[in-house]
Homo-oligomer: A and B are copies of this chain.
Amino acid sequence: MVPALEVAPQENQDLELDSDMNSNCNGATQERVAVIGSGNWGSVASKLIASNTAKLSSFHDEVRMWVFEETLPSGEKLSEVINRENENVKYLPGVKLGKNVVADPDLVNTVKDATMLVFVTPHQFMEGICKRLIGKVRPDAQAISLIKGMEVKKEGPCMISTLITQLLHINCSVLMGANIANEIAQEKFSEATVGYREDEETALKWVLLFSTPYFLVTPVQDVEGVELCGTLKNVVALAAGFVDGLEMGNNTKAAIMRIGLREMRAFSKLMFPSVKNNTFFESCGVADLITTCLGGRNRKVAEAFAKNNGKRSFDELEAEMLQGQKLQGVSTAREVYEVLSHRGWQELFPLFTTVYEICIGHLSPSAIVEYSEHKPNFALVDGSAQVY
């Protein structure tokens, strides 16, 4: 099949020459890539990247991957086993990463020579990691964040890409999409979206670095839109889970997903007027939403919550179903609600608001499909023209 508008091999060639011609000015003619993070998604990202750096002359073969060192039950260090087996036996067992992936437990050493930094850690660790990297990264380095689920504070979303730029004073793009790490590790067909700020040439380098025949990457000039999709979709996944638990059928589920996508779009555009409608047609938008609402932890626990008619709390169900892991969706729903109530926008976002009130037990799960006479009136909101 011929997925349209993606980077095809002949275009890779152009990009490659292009990035050669624009090699950075301190003599280095090749980009050096460091991956900060080595969990499930970080390991898959390293595998994708390593398959490209091995063949593209504009990149140095070696991909250095920072490993938060652990001692395995065998008594060995995780980084040593990864380098010996060429496999992350703990977070991506059974998949070879590529011989040019080098695990390094030393964060500063990992980034030392890198011109392209790929951040893919749990988002709660990012602030600490960035602080340790202040003054340690090349001033000409470019960053990209694969981290979904930045925090949404009262004042507005606190983007991971912004955090990286503010602390390290380097430009930061994002890569988001319908990306279930294990399916991509098995080289099943998938897509992703690179969101960039101004520098299209750098965006195309990221596209080149991640694209494979089974992983198609499209660049869009809309960092905030792409990054917000990765977070807000988890709130919609809770709504979809409620519908599943109530056994309302595909028709209702599709309607709720559509309304959710519309609120994702409206919320993003009110927060950042630069956000583009078309971003929501990309993999980071509609495709990631579909994947998350079909499978996914948030949908699953929300389904159980609705089946129990809200009588068992999310904390209880999380502890039971996710071995104490926390659901992104529930905290994001609360954070989004804080923004809405802070600005008096609850009635403009009926789905987001209702999901939160169901999560905290103020409404029953069936409220997700109960009609109300309220009707959003965006005329009340400055700069809200055409948010829908």
* Contacts from A to B (Cβ < 8 Å): 1-6, 8-11, 178-180, 183-184, 188-191, 213-214, 216, 248-259, 261-263, 265-266, 277-278, 280-283, 286-288, 290-291, 294-295, 347-351, 353-354, 367-376, 388
Is B1 touching A367 in the complex (CB atoms < 8 A)?
yes
7 pairs across A/B with beta carbons < 8 Å? A2-B353, A3-B371, A5-B388, A179-B251, A254-B288, A258-B286, A277-B277
Give every chain B residue within 8 A of A287 (Cβ-Cβ). Answer: 254-255, 257-258
Is B283 touching A255 in the complex (CB atoms < 8 A)?
yes
A251 to B257, CA, bound (A): 16
A5 to B378, CA, bound (A): 10
Is A375 touching B6 in the complex (CB atoms < 8 A)?
yes
Is B252 touching A190 in the complex (CB atoms < 8 A)?
yes
Give every chain B residue within 8 A of A282 (Cβ-Cβ). Answer: 258
Give every chain B residue within 8 A of A388 (Cβ-Cβ). Answer: 4-5, 278
Q: Closest CB-CB distance, A261 to chain B, in whole Å?
A: 7
List the B residue with the shortest CB-CB distance to A358.
Answer: B1
**Looking at the complex, which one of B286, B295, B348, B372 makes contact with A1 (CB distance below 8 Å)?**
B372
A192 to B154, CA, bound (A): 35
Is B4 touching A249 in the complex (CB atoms < 8 A)?
no
A4 to B258, CA, bound (A): 11
A265 to B282, CA, bound (A): 13
List the B residue with the shortest CB-CB distance to A8.
Answer: B375
Give every chain B residue within 8 A of A261 (Cβ-Cβ). Answer: 281, 286
Q: Closest CB-CB distance, A379 to chain B, in whole Å?
A: 12
A250 to B277, CA, bound (A): 24
Is A370 touching B188 in the complex (CB atoms < 8 A)?
no
Is B290 touching A257 in the complex (CB atoms < 8 A)?
yes
A7 to B246, CA, bound (A): 25
List the B residue with the shortest CB-CB distance to A376.
Answer: B4
